[in-house]
Chain A
Amino acid sequence: MTVAAQSSSTGKTRKRHFWTMERRDALAGYLFIAPQLIGIITFVLIPLGLVFWYSLHEWNVLAQTFRFQGLGNYQALLSDPGLPQVLGATVLFSVGLVVFNMSLALLLAVLLDQKLKGITVYRTLFFSPVVVSLVAWTIVWSFLLQNNGGINAILALFGVEGPNWLREPTTAMISVIVVQVFKNVGLNMILFLAALQGVPRELYEAARVDGTPAWAQFTRITMPMISPTILLTSIITIVGSLQVFAQIAVLTQGGPGMSTTVLVYYLYQQAFQFHKFGYGATLSILLFLIVAALTFAQWQMRRRLVFYEN
């Protein structure tokens, strides 16, 4: 294919090929990223745009009406009496999950970083819940946490009368957090383990020569060296905690009262149970903004809190 002509030094015009090496390379590059790009456009950007578009409408699915109402849903969001409680439950869940999950994951990673016999078996055991079906895992826990379930039966062996875990506001939230932590702690544990094994051993040797206590080694060597991983896992865990749904749906259905109604579950109720798809879309925009703001804030904090060797 030729599209252009150029004068040569001899004065004759010479046809220039359109498919230059650079263009071929560029085309190859675009073709290589095309499947991913099409996927992102189709399954991320277009739905995101549609969600925003829906949030500007009142959509009655049964009546098949779809009416533009501008910022009406956003005004309803600001005056929604249930929203403060929902956001409170969301914050409580996220803080509880992040603190418990990351502390336990780090503790397990440190323990499993030791040179012990059968350590691979322990690592596999702690990681195995990650690959179990979430709903199946939660259903099993719902039986264990019933008033006449397995947990209270074990407590009764020690003469302890356990609470009605899923029927009291405080214990219901704790139960949901614990179930989620045990499900996913293995993932953070593996990431921490990989980070721990990447810490140069000579740093510890030098510290030992200097007589540095173990706790100081941990706080002054280990923590700074694995801080990039801590940042990564904290972002993953916080974003994940804001998107919790199946555990709430199976264990508590948002109750008792609204004590475990977190934002995603509330969004699901409004859109799919109460058929308020426009308002549900508005809530999902709110969730998007919260996640984006938190991720941005964490990313900004990396300069102060994260140590990079280079």
Chain B
Amino acid sequence: MTSMNTLKSTTALAGLILPLAAGPVLAQDQIDLRMTIWSANEAHLAMFNEIAAGFTETHPNVSVTFDSLPFDNYTTTLTTQIAGGNAPDLAWILETSAADFVNSGALAPLSEAFANAEGYDLDDVTEQATALWRANGELYAYPFSTSPFAMFVNNDLIAEAGAQTPAEFIEAGDWTWENAIETAAAVGANGADGLIVRDFNYQIWQNLASIWRGWGASPWSADGNTCTFAEPEMVEAMSFIHDAIFNKGAMPGPGESVDFFAGDAAMTITQISRASLLPQGEDAFDWDLVPLPAGPAGEYAVIGQAGIGVFQMGDNVDMAVEFLAYMSNPENSAKLAQFFPPARQSLLNAETLGETNPLLSPEQIESVVIAGIANGQVLPGHEGFAEIQQVVRAELDALWTADADVQAVLTSVCNRIAPML
């Protein structure tokens, strides 16, 4: 063999062997993180990808993909992925299933990693905001979205009905549930619909907390061990809702599909992130955003929370925790705040939130967002919530008829769920 042939052969051999030798090393270094989210909103995804790109700048071997799952079956799909051995590294977790995820030991602890992250300042996030995501003092998920429930108002429909607007009631110091339903009933009598509890749809009953908390009612005791559905506060609140639906015509009945954002109803209770659904251009109407009315138990606020947790069973737990620390640091929390009201105290001011929520006025941010986050109670949740939710839903179906016996139905609810609490 000539020296040229030897050289050619050696080069060819090296060309074959070197990639094989280098390949496993590169594959070992490359880390692909996957996070499940329930939003498929392009603006949300763009923001998440921007944050991920920032992390990749300092961690070039890490890539992060966001896997959008449908909201209706979000938790079901997530647990099915886990059952199939395809758990994501990180997941967006809804408040109603927080207890299941936090108490099961499925999530990685975060406190130490967050404390060690430079400039993180975990103390900026209040105990109240993280209460749902802690077990035995350890933090298992970061509450990246703390979104108050508020009332969007269609002033045009209310004016057409000759009723008083919520703003007028607020100015007079009379923004109560009695007056809110009076306005809704007037609009209902005028041919449009009155008040919609968005996403309730006579199935997602926990969203009615945005009303019954005004009566000081709750589905179970604070320790979660005793059913309180049949307590007088809940009976009064549910009787009020029942009356508003079946006697006053102030709320769309079961089996009716009505959309506030299409201009079909006077008011809707939902979270402020829905402001993006407000129609623009020719379809636009004169809208307002106001806090929830006061109930017999006084003023109150209700918040929905979503947390992000890292799964213990993932292959890259440490890196996923590091990414979560980066994602929820003060700088990125400010970015997230444009869609998801933050839990960080330093960001809870009209100036910061005004920059990220241009649709809302400083007064709306102050009275709805900041006051709501400061005073709000999270939607009801419980360990094994999915099953409790279904059982209560099935029992409450008897309530959504014109001649229902509210006390009897709610007693029946307690009889069914008491063994599950």
Query: Is A146 a contact of B257 with CB atoms below 8 Å?
Result: yes
Query: Is A273 a contact of B313 with CB atoms below 8 Å?
Result: no
Complex Cα–Cα for A162 and B400 (A) = 17
Question: Given that A61-B83, A62-B101, A64-B106 are known contacts, is A255 also in contact with B257, CB under 8 Å in the complex?
Answer: no
Query: B105 at interface (Cβ–Cβ under 8 A)?
Result: yes
Neighbouring A residues of B386 by C-beta, 8 Å = 273-275
Query: Is B255 a contact of A63 with CB atoms below 8 Å?
Result: no
Q: How far is the CB of B72 from chain A (nearest CB, A)?
A: 9
Complex Cα–Cα for A269 and B79 (A) = 12
Q: How large is the interface on B (under 10, 10 to 19, 20 to 34, 35 or more residues)?
A: 20 to 34
Query: Is A254 a contact of B394 with CB atoms below 8 Å?
Result: yes
Interface of A is mostly: loop
Q: How far is the CB of A195 from chain B (nearest CB, A)?
A: 41
Chain B, 256-280, CB within 8 A of any chain A CB:
256-258
Complex Cα–Cα for A167 and B253 (A) = 10
Interface string of A127-171 (1 = CB under 8 A from B): 000000000000000010011110000000000000011110000
Query: Is B257 a contact of A60 with CB atoms below 8 Å?
Result: no
Chain B, 388-413, CB within 8 A of any chain A CB:
390, 393-395, 397-398, 400
Query: B104 at interface (Cβ–Cβ under 8 A)?
Result: yes
Query: Is A62 a contact of B390 with CB atoms below 8 Å?
Result: no
Query: A299 at interface (Cβ–Cβ under 8 A)?
Result: no
Query: Is B79 a contact of A62 with CB atoms below 8 Å?
Result: yes
Interface string of A164-191 (1 = CB under 8 A from B): 1111000000000000000000000000
Complex Cα–Cα for A60 and B383 (A) = 13
Query: Is A143 a contact of B105 with CB atoms below 8 Å?
Result: no
Query: Is B100 a contact of A62 with CB atoms below 8 Å?
Result: yes
Query: A253 at interface (Cβ–Cβ under 8 A)?
Result: yes
Complex Cα–Cα for A255 and B396 (A) = 10
CB < 8 Å neighbour of A62 from B82, B395, B397 = B82
B257, closest chain A residue (CB)? A146
Query: Is A164 a contact of B255 with CB atoms below 8 Å?
Result: yes
Neighbouring A residues of B239 by C-beta, 8 Å = none
Query: B384 at interface (Cβ–Cβ under 8 A)?
Result: yes
Complex Cα–Cα for A57 and B353 (A) = 50
Question: Given that A61-B82, A272-B76 are known contacts, is A147 also in contact with B253, CB under 8 Å in the complex?
Answer: yes
Query: Is A148 a contact of B256 with CB atoms below 8 Å?
Result: yes
Neighbouring B residues of A148 by C-beta, 8 Å = 255-258
Complex Cα–Cα for A120 and B400 (A) = 47
CB < 8 Å neighbour of B83 from A166, A253, A273, A277 = A277
Query: A256 at interface (Cβ–Cβ under 8 A)?
Result: yes
Interface string of A238-275 (1 = CB under 8 A from B): 00000000000000011111100000000001001111
Query: Is B104 a contact of A60 with CB atoms below 8 Å?
Result: yes
With contacts defined as CB atoms under 8 Å apart, how many contacts are there between chain A and chain B in the complex? 75
Complex Cα–Cα for A148 and B193 (A) = 12
Query: B191 at interface (Cβ–Cβ under 8 A)?
Result: no
Listed residue (A254, A272, A277) with the most chain B CB atoms within 10 angstroms of its CB: A272
Q: How far is the CB of A50 from chain B (nearest CB, A)?
A: 12
Chain B, 90-147, CB within 8 A of any chain A CB:
100-101, 104-106
Neighbouring A residues of B106 by C-beta, 8 Å = 62-64
Chain A, 186-243, CB within 8 A of any chain B CB:
none
Interface string of A52-90 (1 = CB under 8 A from B): 000000011111100000000000000000000000000
Query: B206 at interface (Cβ–Cβ under 8 A)?
Result: no
CB < 8 Å neighbour of A164 from B101, B254, B387 = B254
Neighbouring B residues of A269 by C-beta, 8 Å = 390
Complex Cα–Cα for A209 and B82 (A) = 71
Neighbouring B residues of A167 by C-beta, 8 Å = 202, 254-255, 397, 400
Question: Given that A254-B394, A255-B393, A274-B387 are known contacts, is A147 also in contact with B256, CB under 8 Å in the complex?
Answer: yes
Query: Is A256 a contact of B397 with CB atoms below 8 Å?
Result: yes
Query: B203 at interface (Cβ–Cβ under 8 A)?
Result: yes
Query: B80 at interface (Cβ–Cβ under 8 A)?
Result: yes
Neighbouring B residues of A164 by C-beta, 8 Å = 253-255
Query: Is A61 a contact of B255 with CB atoms below 8 Å?
Result: no
Neighbouring A residues of B82 by C-beta, 8 Å = 61-62
Interface string of B171-189 (1 = CB under 8 A from A): 0000000000000000000
CB < 8 Å neighbour of B394 from A63, A257, A272 = A257
Complex Cα–Cα for A277 and B85 (A) = 14
Neighbouring A residues of B257 by C-beta, 8 Å = 143, 146, 148-149
B253, closest chain A residue (CB)? A147
Chain A, 37-63, CB within 8 A of any chain B CB:
59-63
Neighbouring A residues of B104 by C-beta, 8 Å = 60, 62-63
Neighbouring B residues of A61 by C-beta, 8 Å = 79, 82-83
Q: How far is the CB of A204 from chain B (nearest CB, A)?
A: 49
Complex Cα–Cα for A272 and B76 (A) = 6
Complex Cα–Cα for A257 and B398 (A) = 7
Neighbouring A residues of B400 by C-beta, 8 Å = 167, 256
Nearest first, the 6 A-B pairs at minimum CB distance are A147-B255, A62-B104, A256-B397, A274-B387, A63-B104, A62-B106
Can you identify 12 A-B contacts, CB atoms within 8 angstroms? Answer: A61-B82, A62-B100, A62-B105, A63-B105, A64-B105, A148-B256, A166-B255, A254-B390, A255-B203, A257-B397, A273-B387, A275-B79
Known contacts A62-B105, A275-B79; 20 additional CB pairs below 8 A are A61-B83, A63-B105, A64-B312, A64-B313, A146-B255, A147-B253, A148-B258, A149-B257, A164-B254, A167-B400, A253-B203, A254-B390, A255-B393, A256-B397, A257-B394, A257-B395, A273-B76, A273-B386, A273-B387, A274-B386
